[in-house]
A = this chain, B = another copy of it.
Amino acid sequence: MTAAKTATENPKKRPGRPKGKQSEARQKLILDKAEQLFAENGFHAVTLRQVAKAAEVDTALLHYYFKHKRGLFDQVFRRRGEVLNQERLTELNDYEARNGDSIDVRGAITAFVQPLLDKVESGDSGWRSYFAIVAMINNTPEIGGEIMSENFDPVVLRLLDLIERALPSAKKADLFWAYHCLSGGLTLTLSQSGRLDRLSDNLCRSSDIRTALHHLIDFSTAGFLSLAEK
């Protein structure tokens, strides 16, 4: 009885190439599950076995597709990173095209931040996971150093370029430092840590990214503008 039951319950997958073409979908599934797990637990706390189990796949398949753990992680990161990057550049370019003669700080920052909000509200919950990963590794040089700069620096330089035109009297270094402050707020927002909920006794919700970003835009606009008064 037990043997029969087990055999029925567990339709053991046999090795070998499966019928039909499902390899792409499976690769995506692996990335999705890995993304979620990395977002919840961080790089080192996630094991390939966990990912494999979540995707209902053998561990060896992960190595087949992604070589090693770090390869999987990088792909998780790049998959959305590249899409987002492109959209942010487009948004900044569009803003410049529309307002070339009267660029202002708030407009530039909004163009910089808007795509993030769009993604969060896109209905693809993977974006939230992706952002949590970004936030987590942003403060973890060992993992995030290279990959973050590589991915994000071009957009940031573009933003600062626009802001500089709105604030021609500001010194370059001051602009970088101001961006540093903005970047920190952004990161903390994306991490959805829940800290603010407790601090404010649930008056504010860190999962409410829309509100968070609006406040961040206000706050940072004021911060940048204060550079002109010196």
Binding site for B on A (CB under 8 A): 40-45, 135-136, 138-145, 148-149, 153, 156-157, 172-174, 176-189, 191-196, 198-200, 203-204, 206, 211-212, 215-216, 218-223, 225-226
Contact = CB atoms under 8 A, between A and B. Distances in A.
Contact of A199 (B156, B191, B212): B156
A142 B40 contact: yes
9 contacts: A44-B44, A138-B193, A139-B139, A139-B191, A153-B198, A176-B204, A177-B212, A183-B195, A184-B184
**Copies held by the complex:** 2
Q: Is the interface of A mostly helix, strand, loop or mixed?
A: helix
Contacts of A189: 180, 184
A153 B149 CA distance: 32
A211 to B, nearest CB: 7
Contacts of A143: 42
A142 B193 CA distance: 9
